[in-house]
Structure 1
């Protein structure tokens, strides 16, 4: 029996109520699910909670997996991404942290699923950046993406240092108002409902 067939059989056994099959399935995929969750929320405790939610759903709804719709990894990746985005929407706004984490200082693990999530995140921020004034956008890109210091930005843009700091501050405030990013971090801006 191939590895894929073994994993599909594990899901069938889980659907039939097998705790042993669930434990085996969990051990096979926990690091994969955790890696995706952490790449989105950048918080160990939150990523662990998301893993719990994903595997609880697998245990309760193992019959939902359909081989025709894709691999087990893709099925788990979609569930994990969905739970992670829900968690971000419900929690505090993470815009500034998202920008800092995308600045290139952290390298993503290779893998199509993680590259897709990273690409989606970047796309949302790029779309929001397009909607703010050009000088604010340039200052933010130079600071967060190019890693330039405020002094370097001031020299390049031929602006006083205080003006550059203001451009970045106002630019970040304007980014918070962008619809695409509000959908990413949640419309409640982190306020408890």
Structure 2
């Protein structure tokens, strides 16, 4: 808690233009930001670029931090993940590719990668916009890691129906563009999803 207070003080000084406060803040968090960026992008060069973007944003927008919304580390983690996703979307249409893999039946491994790239709470928010049975099937499959047979049994539905619910549910998520609308930083329609 004391660390967060010190970080908040540094952010306030950065917002007033203090270079020394920024340098200290950077030293405190550079490894943390880089680690998240590296995990998200899988590339040292991309992670360095993401880290640079994040700290530039901190320097320019330090006054936007609100203690009531979470810790400084959480604020930085969200900014880092958002910048990493922006970079990945520019590099390739990330979400479309992963949804296409899932829709084409290449579910093993793709769902793990999909969820590791996007926060579960973002997916949960997007799931609110699809029919209840599709939402339940997707939730059981990706969050509770139930097999399709287990889902069919618990939902009292044929196996083929469960697979269809999941496939149509993922397709509905893509059609709505809900996921990118939630995580996008500049609003409006995003590239990479048709």
Q: TM class, shorter-chain normalised?
A: 0.5 to 0.7
Q: Find the aligned partners of 2:19 and 2:135 in 1 and give their Cα distance.
A: 54
Unaligned runs of 5+ in 2: 100-108
Cα RMSD after superposing both structures: 4.5
Q: Which has the higher contact order (CA 8 A, sep 6+)?
A: 1
How many residue pairs end up in the alignment? 165
1:130 deviates by 2.0
Alpha-carbon distance change, 167 to 28 in structure 1, aligned in 2, over 3 angstroms: same
1:55 deviates by 3.3
Computing the radius of gyration from Cα coordinates, the structure with the larger value is: 1
Q: Find the aligned partners of 2:66 and 2:140 in 1 and give their Cα distance.
A: 42
Unaligned runs of 5+ in 1: 107-116
Once the two structures are superposed, residues 105-163 of structure 1 have per-residue CA deviations (whole angstroms, 9 ceiling, x without a partner) of: x7xxxxxxxxxx95xx50x3223212212221111111011111111112222322222
1:84 deviates by 3.6
Moved over 6 A (4+): 15-18, 21-24
**Which stretch of the first structure deviates more once superposed, 50-59 or 144-153?**
50-59
8 A contact 1:102–1:145 mirrored in 2:
no
1:167 deviates by 1.2
Q: TM-score, normalised by structure 2?
A: 0.57
Instruction: Give 1:23-62 correspondences, 5 Å limit.
Output: 26-37=26-37, 42-45=40-43, 46-56=46-56, 61=60
Instruction: Give 1:150-169 correspondences, 5 Å limit.
Output: 150-169=148-167
| Counterpart residue number, 1:93 | 94
